[in-house]
Chains A and B, each alone.
Chain A
Amino acid sequence: SQKIEQNSEALNIQEGKTATLTCNYTNYSPAYLQWYRQDPGRGPVFLLLIRENEKEKRKERLKVTFDTTLKQSLFHITASQPADSATYLCALWSNYQLIWGAGTKLIIKP
């Protein structure tokens, strides 16, 4: 069956360190993958998109990698800050729609 997996347990990171979140998928061949941030009581907010032919994408303190052989994307936040605390969702584009992971809750401790 097709599925997308994100670490269901919350990730606790010390402020200033790099946070790394994982998104694994099976039985998809996505043209691209997206990462979104969701704060409590709000809708997801788009962060980054990476295409299948791209290995890495950066935006300020954010970096995303995409390994189609491993069927995995990694999302990094460098120099993490308490304001980065949120739930991060990955989503694959497949069959003309986004397929969503369940999200990983990230907690940055001061």
Chain B
Amino acid sequence: QQPVQSPQAVILREGEDAVINCSSSKALYSVHWYRQKHGEAPVFLMILLKGGEQKGHDKISASFNEKKQQSSLYLTASQLSYSGTYFCGTEIRGNKLVFGAGTILRVKS
């Protein structure tokens, strides 16, 4: 049931773009994205709901393909502060989130 995230890790230079993917083998009601910095708690970025509604962050965008059970997180013009581990959480049913293994993003100056 755990969604699969790709890539596992990515290194960028400041100003570069990145895409993080999340896919599930089950039909999804919603996809959540969180970022966790080392030693800190996960912080909410984005929710994508079945039917197209999005709630999220002003500098980060995401897509949700309900038919393919996939979501992608788009980070544009990356900044040093974007570094961290990105988790997608998928809601299959039962109102619980199952998180992927995470994607480590490191932005270098």
Decide if A and B are genuine partners.
no
